[in-house]
Amino acid sequence: MVTVVVLVPWLAWLVVSLLSFYLLTLLAHARSGLPPGPRPLPLIGSLHLLGDKPHRSLARLAKIHGPLMSIRLGADLFAAGSDTSSSTVEWAMTELLQNPSSMAMVCDELAQVIGSRRNIEEADISRLPYLQAVIKETFRLHPPAPLLLPRQPETTVKIAGCTIPKGSRVFINVWAIGRDKDVWIEPEKFMPERFLGSTIDFRGVDFELLPFGAGRRLCPGMALAIRMVHVMLASLLNQFKWSLPVELERDGINMEDQFGLTLAKVVPLCIIATPI
């Protein structure tokens, strides 16, 4: 029997759509132009100049002007995310389907360690190093939230030659960090092998990989999310054989992302599951 599935539940997309609508509304109000920010930092005078994918536009601007830019929002903006686990699993499946060798390796590992059709237990995760590497590589390329919650220094500080004034609102662009060619070899390539034998982890200690943040503002749901993502992905791969519909085989998978509560795919992944 063959079943066509969409990995992200409709409720997740409803939440993301509502946040996107809120952000677009905020952008529309900002189009009249805001007063310029303090010099000499590079600045963006109007919020709408960020576009609908601020994680990408900020990464480009940082390469031109350096890591610090003054952004006058005109109002406080705070957003917290959910549905990150389903989005991460969807991105992992997308990358694996586009990289058959990685798909074969993770499935072979599951078959050898777990056995086909057996339910995955939390205790099994530690025995699946390649699965863990796949999750890390997915977090690197597709962090659940592209921008971490803002920080605000209590005093003026100087870091790496950059002066950060007291009271500044500081955003960390983890999407850009994960694709920095000065940090990663072939950063745009999905390559889980880079984490095999590596001590780099995503629990807030290694600044190259910060999908959950770090310090006192570390995501409180990290422990649950880590367990859910590993068990969900392992269960899908161990219970089914996955393939692309004819049109996706012909045209390829749309890899465009959508800025919102989570860094979700613009076009949901629709693939074919065949029970093993």
**Which two three-digit tokens encode residue 54?**
């601020």
CA-nearest of 59, 32, 62 to 47 is: 32
pLDDT of residue 74: 37
CATH code of the domain in which 159 resides: 1.10.630.10
> Binding-site residues, please?
219
Q: Are 154 and 164 in contact (CB under 8 A)?
A: no
In tens digits, what is the pLDDT along the chain, a chain of 276 residues? 444 444 444 445 444 555 555 555 554 554 444 444 444 444 444 445 556 666 666 666 666 655 544 444 333 333 333 467 888 899 999 999 999 999 999 999 999 999 866 788 889 999 999 999 999 999 999 998 888 878 888 899 888 787 888 888 888 888 988 999 999 999 999 999 999 999 998 888 888 898 888 887 787 778 888 888 999 999 999 988 999 888 888 889 999 988 766 788 888 888 888 888
176-185 contacts: CB < 8 A, separation 24 or more?
A: 176/55, 176/58, 176/59, 176/62, 177/207, 177/208, 177/209, 177/210, 178/139, 178/140, 178/141, 178/143, 178/208, 178/209, 179/59, 179/141, 183/208, 184/140, 184/208
Cβ distance 133 to 196 under 8 Å? yes
Question: 115 is in which domain, residue-wise?
Answer: 3-275
Residues contributing to the annotated binding site for heme: 219
Torsion, CA 156, CA 157, CA 160, CA 164, rounded to 10? -30
- Residue 265 CA to residue 276 CA, distance in Å, equals 27
* Tally of domains in the chain: 1
For residue 129, what are its two tokens? 């190093």
Measured between alpha carbons, how far is 222 from 203 in angstroms, rounded to an integer?
A: 8
- Torsion angles phi and psi, residue 158, rounded to 5: -120, 120
List the Cα angle 88/93/98 in 5-degree steps. 130
CA distance 176 to 183: 11
